Structure 1
Amino acid sequence: MAHIDYYLTPLSPWVYMAGTRPAEIAARNGATITYKPLDPGALFQRTGGKVLAERHESRQAYRLQELRRWSARLDMPLTLKPRHFPTNGAPASYAIIAAQAAGDGDVAALLHGLGRACWAEDRDIADDAVIRDCLAQAGFDPALADHGLLAGAETYGRNLEEGIAAGVFGMPFFVVGEERFWGQDRLDMLDEHLAGAG
């Protein structure tokens, strides 16, 4: 059985654009998936990338065009400049880690709900109330937002190290064995790879 390591930050508009498709691709191909939130700033610093504010203005302008185009193509609502971006992605990441460990809800729905909260609903995903609401909507106990913070922080740091070792440099990033797929626009290729490996 193939396995997907999905490296992400719930703050990424591209992770939001990926939606629940990674989970659907995994299910369709009989693969398993592990969600691995990590710190994007630390990842970029260690792999030669730059956070958005440090990128050249031409890159920032092109990003906005791409977001607009992909939002239209995928028919997904998107605020190009949400009120609460950037924000602290760690609390939402810890909630994803805790939810995945709890295993009694839908992690893909949780991740997508957090992305939608930031990119379509202008809510702050660093806010405990927003995180609790997203947990509940995905079938998890909202109290997960208050538990396992130490374990979440440890896993968050471990995900960064594992991601760097696996060749991750951006998000969303999918690793299947030796194969790597960067970006929501490579999900078709991930699907094709898994179909051929089955």
Structure 2
Amino acid sequence: MGKVIDFYWDLGSTNSYFALHLIKPIAARHGAKVVPHPFNLGYVFRKENYVLMEEPKAKLRARKADLMRWAKKYDLPFSMPTKFPMKTSPALRGALAMRRFDKEWAFMEKIFAAYWERNDASVGELDGLLPIAAELGVDTAAFAALVESEEIRDQLIAETDGGIARGAFGVPMFFVGDEMFWGKDRMEFIDDELTSPSPPRVRRSQAAAAT
């Protein structure tokens, strides 16, 4: 089996936007497959009683300045949207629906570009996703039915819970085997892991038994 990079993402995550672009050349260099997993960050934030916009104003200003440095460094047309944060679960379910048509990654690229490059927050709702489905050659009625289905809703819950079970607490989160890498600034470590994989972890109970 070839090398696999599991990528947990949310449309509302600034850093997921950068990670979407930065992981591609690393995967290509190693012949690895990037497997995307929509991760409902809003659900996780609510569960942890975390409110992003209640952070200190100085920290929020510094974060924005840092994001613009990243955009300049990698020549990406990133800009902060007018509507931030926003609800993203319809877009996350849309990605899962597009998985049925083998167009998940193309869909992700289009919604990230719409929101983080063109200030188009309509992709946070089903109506704003329908034109993208049409652009990708997918029947909009079939797409809408899937996005609103209980099956896809349950699948998003399963994807999110599966990430949490693996140790994910935010996005972007990457896994190469059992090794976890958090953030857009972990690309070097992912590159290293794909070059020379870490040895399998030994559980403490196993280590204790061996001594």
- Where 2:119 maps in the other structure, the secondary structure is coil
8 Å contact kept, 2:38–2:92: yes
The one-letter amino acid paired with 1:131 is L
CA shift, 1:92, in A, is 0.7
CA shift, 1:8, in A, is 0.9
CA shift, 1:180, in A, is 0.8
CA shift, 1:23, in A, is 4.1
Q: Specify the alignment match of 2:109 in structure 1.
A: 112
**Bigger shift: 126-135 or 56-65?**
126-135
Change (3 A) 1:35 1:93: same
Matches within 5 A, 1:115-134: 115-124=112-121, 125-134=123-132
Q: What CA distance in whole angstroms lies between the structure 1 residues aligned with 2:133 and 2:66?
A: 29
Q: Which of structures 1 and 2 has the larger relative contact order (alpha carbons within 8 angstroms, sep 6+)?
A: 1
Q: Specify the alignment match of 1:167 in structure 2.
A: 167
The one-letter amino acid paired with 1:159 is E
8 Å contact kept, 1:128–1:145: no
The one-letter amino acid paired with 1:102 is F
Q: Specify the alignment match of 2:16 in structure 1.
A: 15
Matches within 5 A, 1:34-73: 34-46=35-47, 50-73=50-73
Coordinate RMSD, CA, aligned: 2.2
8 Å contact kept, 1:7–1:172: yes
Q: Specify the alignment match of 1:176 in structure 2.
A: 176
CA shift, 1:171, in A, is 0.9
The higher radius of gyration belongs to 2
The one-letter amino acid paired with 1:187 is M
Q: Specify the alignment match of 2:201 in structure 1.
A: none
Q: What CA distance in whole angstroms lies between the structure 2 residues aligned with 1:25 and 1:40?
A: 25
Scaled by the length of structure 2, the TM-score of the pair is: 0.80
CA shift, 1:140, in A, is 4.8
Scaled by the length of structure 1, the TM-score of the pair is: 0.84
1:25 matched to 2:32: no
Change (3 A) 1:118 1:18: same
Q: What CA distance in whole angstroms lies between the structure 1 residues aligned with 2:181 and 2:134?
A: 31
Q: What CA distance in whole angstroms lies between the structure 2 residues aligned with 1:187 and 1:140?
A: 33
What percentage of aligned pairs have identical amino acids?
Answer: 27
8 Å contact kept, 1:173–1:183: yes
CA shift, 1:62, in A, is 1.6
8 Å contact kept, 2:42–2:87: no
